[in-house]
Amino acid sequence: MSDPNEDLLAAFDGHRVDDVRAALAAGADPRAPIQGKLATDWLLEQYARSDALQECLRLLIDHGAEFRDPLIAPVVLNDPDAIRVAAQAHPSFVAHRTTLPSTFTSLENATLLHVAAEYGQLDAARTLIELGADVNAAAGVDQFGINGHTPLFHTVNSNRNRSAPIMRLLVQSGADCERFVKGVHWGQGYSWETTFFDVTPISYAQLGLLPQVHRREQDVYDNIRFLLSAAGRPVPPLANIPNRYLAEGH
CATH architecture of the region 80-247: Alpha Horseshoe (1.25)
- Does domain 1-68 sit in CATH 3.40.50.620? no
Neighbours of 143 (CB within 10 A): 5
Domain with CATH 1.25.40.20 in the chain: 1-68, 80-247
pTM over 0.95: yes
Output the tens digit of pLDDT for each of the chain's 250 residues: 689 999 999 999 999 999 999 999 999 999 999 999 999 999 999 999 999 999 999 999 999 999 999 999 999 999 999 999 999 999 999 999 999 999 999 999 999 999 999 999 999 999 999 999 999 999 999 999 999 999 999 999 999 999 999 999 999 999 999 999 999 999 999 999 999 999 999 999 999 999 999 999 999 999 999 999 999 999 999 999 999 999 998 8
Degrees to nearest 5, angle at CA 184 with 51 and 195: 105
